[in-house]
Structure 1
Amino acid sequence: MWTKHHKKKKIGRFVVPAMTIAFLSYFGYHCVHGDYGLRATEGFERQRIARERELAVLKGKREHLEKQVALLSDGSMDKDMLDEKARLQLNVSRADEIVIFNHYSN
């Protein structure tokens, strides 16, 4: 009976570990530096905080405007508010008045 003897090649021992290292390196790199990796997550968090600040400012402006609209509504119209808005829009004042327009940033 004939038997074949194969010499074990030394390079064969390194194929599976090399593929494993390549696989882990590829996915490890993209976990940190990829589009949704750790560094991108930090950027997303900074952007979220900036958007929350912007939202808070816009909510404050909206509340201010809602209060002004409530003063101008039909049921409880404030005459001073109506007079102020009319003068501002028409750019009108009496001769004995000094007008100082204060535009709020809110």
Structure 2
Amino acid sequence: MPKEQATQAIALCCLLILAGLTLAGPSGLLAWSENNRLLQERQNEVQQLTARRDELRNRVALLDPSHVDPDIAGELVRRNLNVVHPDEMVMLLN
């Protein structure tokens, strides 16, 4: 009889531990809202990074050596080499 009670007590302890982890564990019910918030933050970050990647991809395409966009080339020359015609006025929009 004491052996059965010990086995039942161990089984009950295991069930209680599993129930506790289900509620308060790292992937339990109480952590669900935190995980959803983090997921939303990561999705927003991915959207921002995707938009930035698309901007950079567009600039790279405009700088293709076989057909460079003259506006981009002029912008880069003026910014990097500080080359300006005497009759031009430079307006920085940063």
**How high is the TM-score relative to the length of structure 1?**
0.66
Shift of 1:79: 1.3
Q: Which moves more between the two structures, 48-57 or 33-42?
A: 33-42
List runs of 5+ in structure 1 lacking aligned partners.
Answer: 1-11
Question: Larger relative contact order (C-alpha < 8 A, sep ≥ 6)?
Answer: 1
Residue 37 in structure 1 maps to residue 28 in structure 2 = yes
Please identify the structure whose Cα radius of gyration is greater. Answer: 1
Shift of 1:24: 4.1
Return the letter of the residue paired with 1:70.
A
1:61 pairs with 34, 52, 55, which one?
A: 52
d(CA) in 2 for partners of 1:43, 1:69: 39
Residue 73 in structure 1 maps to residue 75 in structure 2 = no
Return the letter of the residue paired with 2:74.
D
Q: CA RMSD in A?
A: 2.4
Q: How many residues align?
A: 89
Percent identity over paired residues: 28
Shift of 1:51: 0.7
d(CA) in 2 for partners of 1:92, 1:32: 66
d(CA) in 2 for partners of 1:32, 1:26: 10
**How high is the TM-score relative to the length of structure 2?**
0.73
